[in-house]
Amino acid sequence: MTMSVDESVDESVDAGGRRTRPSARRGNDDARPSARDGDDVEAPRGSTSAVDDDERDLSVAERLCATQLGVSYDKRDRPWLEHGEACLLATGQLYPLCAVATGMRTANISLCGYMELVPNIVGAAYFVGVAGTVASCVWGTLRATRAEPHRALKAARFAAGMTPAVTLAGTFVFPRCMWNVHQTCVVWWAWSALFAMVFEWVADSKFVARRARCGERVVTSDVVLPQLTYVIGFAITLKFYYTNSSDFFRGEILSANSFSWWCLSKHRAGTFAGRSKARTYTWRELFLGDGLYAALMMCVYRFNQYHGCGGTWGTF
């Protein structure tokens, strides 16, 4: 019995002499997406995220760092230029250090009080941090709102997330010398940020998830440290609000950076239901993208300070 050329290609002989046809594995392998360097590949639908799978093999200390440090922990083996989140938090720390180092005396020892006096090159560090935080807050709010199937909770998530974003921007658009509008933004931001953290915890609790989404969570992040440190910083500012001291200044720095940390934690892969990709956030997105917003905010701030308060445009 002869074998045709086509059959010799399509068939093979096993150890027992039986003819078998090769499976279409090669075709499936070719169609399977490859994880090239730098590419984000989404997890299969209905499966656990890759981040959760990796954390199962970690020790307790490593799991704590992976959960609380989140996206920065995931980037630990990447070049430092890709750590946009860490760079943003670093700029938030750089501003108060440089502001105090200038030796300028301010009538109000606070982030806003120093902003009216420091050179623009120093103020730019904090405006970059503020702009990046506002952009990340808006980004996370839109993702959570889109993933929320319940109509009432969808509207509540949008309001809870956008309120601190808008009021934080208003805090650094209207200088402290425009006291009424500035202080209104400060108070609204402080309380709305606290409310947003509590609301997210309640909306994604097992009790609400079972009744609104058949047990599914919209925000799957287990980050708790930034919320805890924000509450501590918030309590410090309340205690020393009328003292005009460095204690209030420290509490303000702690609460501001904790809010930034909380917003940036949403960049991690698998944070939102139906989205397994992490947000691409490197030095380019921070200094070129959010840096443009920071420049616009700073110009509006100096304009209001010059025309609304009779101040100066600042020096470089």
Distance CA 128, CA 93 (A): 12
Return per-residue pLDDT of the chain as tens, 316 residues.
444 444 444 444 444 445 444 444 444 444 444 444 444 434 433 333 445 555 556 676 666 776 677 677 777 777 878 888 888 988 888 999 988 887 778 888 899 999 988 889 999 988 999 999 999 999 999 999 998 888 899 999 999 999 999 999 999 999 998 999 999 999 999 999 999 999 999 888 877 777 777 767 787 777 889 999 999 999 999 999 888 889 999 999 999 999 999 999 888 876 787 666 888 888 889 899 999 999 999 999 999 998 878 765 555 4
The confidence score (pLDDT) of residue 158 equals 96
List the structure tokens of 66. Answer: 């992976």
Query: pTM, whole model, 2 decimals?
Result: 0.75
Length of the chain equals 316
Residue 205 to residues 155, 168, 198, 212, 224: CA-CA distances in angstroms? Answer: 18, 27, 11, 11, 14
| Cβ neighbours of residue 109 closer than 8 Å, sequence gap 6 or more | 244, 245, 246, 248, 249
User: Which amino acid does the sequence have at 24?
Assistant: A
Provide the residue ranges of all domains of the chain, joining segments of one domain with +: 79-309
